[in-house]
């Protein structure tokens, strides 16, 4: 009972703190990961002593597993297939040599500098080549980030984990202690699960799930709030189906999300946003849990070799990716932004926890090394990205300023009550009568970025922060605001 109450209190603290501090942290340029790691330290043995989450914690195992599965699914769902086809050169460079070369260099450094066995070094290389979507979220939402740089970072953070995951799984097979002549059978079964069963079951769950949703929604309708829960069901269903038959649940979750994207079925924003919000909650909980004691293990054995290795781990991606992006036709300014914003965070920790959870030899040392690199990355990369967002947040507002005496006619305040919904014909009629009308484009960012068509004269307001945008635009307080979001 005491453990249950502690877990419940942890969830409550994270949810309340994440909600209350979200805007403050964004405005102040403070990396949210650093705040929740510090919160874990305060609650842990070094602070108040209220929590101490170890490697064998069932809660940590559940949070890490569900969080990684949901992140892979959500990242795949948001993939725009047409965009990837149009940017084939960029996709290949970012996910091919841009991901694999840093993984190889980091693995070699771990083997030569730290004396890590080759299989363990491969796990370290793959885990530390993964860039973190949580730390990058503030930058990706910033209007100041150029579109080519945003696309490259979205491709990398959304898809490089599925490139690196097979390396970790195969290396885990090498590290597994031999057991009475069944090694070959285990290897064959794991390879089949990784490359065959996982993708097949993930595709089946994703295709069937969206087909069923479309059919039921067409015939009898689906409540919006329950449609938002549907994303979680598909992600966890694909993971469970694959793991039940010896496949890779993480690959299945990613392929299920990719199948949803491939079907191009119109989904409400809630389907995507609720899944992303849930994934972020799980990841923040994991940050707090790791911050109680585990993530600080890397500081116990710091020496010059670990410091040199950390510099290589954090610098290799920049050195490799910068010239590769030039070949994709990207401008130098955008190249610099993409190459520098290579934060390592929770995705690296989740990947390196996979061998820890199955208690492979030497896996706890791999986690300690990764933790040291991640903490420094949170400070360096997270702080740098926070400064970028803070410096450019004033540029959020478009140059257009609307006043009652500018482009909109002035009219006396309307006494009649304005309905919550209005048709296009009614809007046009109001404009023809000379009534002040402001059309607001409040579509979700993913829909706005993907569509080149907008309503004539519409003013863009970011739905993530409408009040600040409306204030910066000085929207008329006497006009009727007509908002559309689809």
Going by C-alpha positions, the residue among 55, 70, 126 that lies closest to residue 249 is 70
Given pLDDT bands bounded at 50, 70 and 90, which one contains residue 427? confident
Lowest mean pLDDT among 119-133, 154-168, 185-199: 185-199
Rounded Cα–Cα distance for residues 40 and 359 (Å): 24
Which pLDDT score is estimated for 4? 63
Joined together, the tokens standing for residue 164 give: 């690196």
Which pLDDT score is estimated for 185? 55
Q: What dihedral angle (degrees, nearest 10) is formed by the CA atoms of 218, 224, 228, 230?
A: -40
Tell whether the model's pLDDT for residue 37 goes beyond 80: yes
Mean pLDDT value of segment 278-300: 85
The percent of residues in the chain predicted with pLDDT above 90, rounded, is 18
* pTM score over 0.85: no
Chain-centre distance of CA 277, in angstroms? 10
Tell whether the model's pLDDT for residue 126 goes beyond 60: yes
Which pLDDT score is estimated for 319? 93
Tell whether the model's pLDDT for residue 394 goes beyond 50: no
Given pLDDT bands bounded at 50, 70 and 90, which one contains residue 128? very high
Where, residue-wise, is CATH 1.20.1530.20 in the chain? Answer: 2-396
Given pLDDT bands bounded at 50, 70 and 90, which one contains residue 257? confident
Joined together, the tokens standing for residue 142 give: 């910033």
Which pLDDT score is estimated for 180? 44
Where, residue-wise, is CATH 3.40.250 in the chain? Answer: 399-486
Tell whether the model's pLDDT for residue 460 goes beyond 90: no
Rounded Cα–Cα distance for residues 461 and 448 (Å): 10
- Please give the backbone phi and psi of residue 345, each rounded to the nearest 5 degrees, phi first: -150, -130
Lowest mean pLDDT among 275-279, 315-319, 390-394: 390-394
Which pLDDT score is estimated for 26? 63
Tell whether the model's pLDDT for residue 192 goes beyond 80: no
Contact at 8 Å (CB) between 276 and 74? yes
The percent of residues in the chain predicted with pLDDT above 70, rounded, is 79
pLDDT digits (tens, 9 = 90+) for 202-248: 999 999 988 888 888 888 877 766 777 788 888 899 999 988 887 78
Show the DSSP H helices in 246-340 as ranges: 249-263, 269-292, 304-326, 332-340
Mean pLDDT value of segment 380-407: 56
pLDDT digits (tens, 9 = 90+) for 361-387: 899 999 999 999 999 998 888 878 777
The domain defined by 2-396 carries CATH number 1.10.260.40: no
Rounded Cα–Cα distance for residues 152 and 135 (Å): 16
CB 374: neighbour CB atoms within 10 A? 31
Tell whether the model's pLDDT for residue 398 goes beyond 60: no
The CATH code of the domain at 399-486 is 3.40.250
> Mean pLDDT, the chain, as a whole number?
79
Contact at 8 Å (CB) between 479 and 408? yes
Cβ neighbours for 474, distance < 8 A, ≥ 6 positions apart: 401, 402, 403
Which pLDDT score is estimated for 404? 37
Please give, one letter per residue, the 3-state secondary structure of 220-233: CCCCHHHHHHHHHH
Mean pLDDT value of segment 176-200: 66
Better pLDDT: 301 or 171:
171
Rounded Cα–Cα distance for residues 7 and 20 (Å): 20
- Please give the backbone phi and psi of residue 453, each rounded to the nearest 5 degrees, phi first: -105, 135
Helix (H, G, I), strand (E, B), or coil: what is residue 344? Answer: coil
Given pLDDT bands bounded at 50, 70 and 90, which one contains residue 182? very low
Lowest mean pLDDT among 338-342, 355-359, 365-369, 417-421: 417-421
Helix (H, G, I), strand (E, B), or coil: what is residue 300? Answer: coil
Which range of 179-193, 365-379, 413-427 scores highest in mean pLDDT? It is 365-379
Upper half-sphere CA count for residue 110 (Cβ side, 13 Å): 29
Mean pLDDT value of segment 387-398: 56
Tell whether the model's pLDDT for residue 405 goes beyond 70: no
Given pLDDT bands bounded at 50, 70 and 90, which one contains residue 411? very low
Strand order, beta sheet including 480-484: 459-460, 437-441, 480-484
Better pLDDT: 261 or 465:
261
């Amino acid at each position: 009972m005491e453990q249950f109450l502690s877990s419940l209190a942890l969830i409550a603290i994270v949810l309340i703190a994440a909600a209350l501090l979200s805007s403050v942290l964004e405005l102040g340029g403070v990396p949210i990961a650093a705040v929740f790691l510090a919160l874990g330290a305060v609650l842990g043995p070094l602070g108040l002593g209220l929590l101490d989450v170890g490697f064998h914690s069932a809660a940590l195992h559940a949070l890490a597993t569900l969080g990684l599965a949901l992140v892979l699914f959500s990242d795949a769902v948001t993939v725009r297939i047409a965009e990837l086809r149009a940017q084939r050169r960029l996709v290949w460079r970012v996910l091919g040599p841009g991901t694999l070369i840093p993984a190889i260099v980091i693995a070699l450094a771990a083997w030569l500098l730290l004396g890590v066995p080759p299989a363990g070094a491969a796990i370290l290389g793959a885990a530390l080549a993964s860039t973190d979507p949580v730390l990058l979220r503030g930058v990706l939402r910033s209007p100041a980030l150029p579109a080519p740089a945003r696309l490259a970072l979205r491709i990398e953070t959304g898809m490089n984990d599925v490139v690196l995951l097979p390396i970790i799984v195969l290396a885990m097979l090498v590290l597994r202690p031999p057991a009475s002549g069944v090694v070959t059978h285990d290897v064959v079964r794991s390879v089949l699960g990784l490359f065959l069963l996982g993708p097949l079951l993930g595709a089946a769950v994703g295709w069937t799930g969206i087909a069923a949703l479309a059919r039921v929604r067409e015939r009898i309708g689906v409540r919006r709030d329950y449609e938002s829960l549907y994303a979680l069901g598909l992600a966890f269903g694909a993971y469970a189906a694959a793991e039940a038959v010896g496949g890779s649940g993480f690959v299945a979750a990613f392929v299920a999300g990719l199948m949803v994207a491939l079907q191009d079925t119109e989904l409400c924003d809630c389907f995507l946003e609720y899944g992303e919000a849930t994934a972020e909650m799980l990841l923040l909980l994991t940050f707090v849990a790791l911050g109680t004691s585990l993530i600080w293990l890397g500081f116990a054995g710091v020496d010059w070799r670990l410091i040199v290795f950390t510099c290589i781990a954090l610098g290799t991606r920049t050195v490799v990716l910068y010239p590769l992006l030039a070949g994709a036709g990207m401008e130098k300014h955008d190249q610099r932004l993409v190459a520098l914003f290579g934060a390592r965070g929770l995705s690296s920790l989740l990947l390196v926890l996979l061998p820890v959870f199955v208690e492979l030899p030497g896996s706890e040392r791999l986690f300690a090394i990764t933790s040291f690199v991640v903490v420094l990355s949170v400070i360096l990369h997270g702080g740098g990205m926070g400064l970028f967002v803070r410096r450019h947040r004033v540029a959020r507002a478009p140059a257009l300023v609307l006043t009652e005496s500018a482009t909109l006619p002035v009219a006396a305040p309307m006494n009649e009550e304005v309905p919550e919904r209005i048709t296009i014909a009614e809007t046009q009629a109001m404009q023809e009568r000379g009534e002040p009308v402001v059309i607001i484009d409040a579509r979700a960012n993913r829909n706005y970025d993907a569509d080149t068509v907008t309503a004539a004269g519409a003013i863009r307001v970011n739905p993530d922060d409408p009040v600040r945008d409306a204030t910066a635009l000085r929207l008329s307080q006497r006009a009727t605001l007509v908002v559309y979001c689809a």
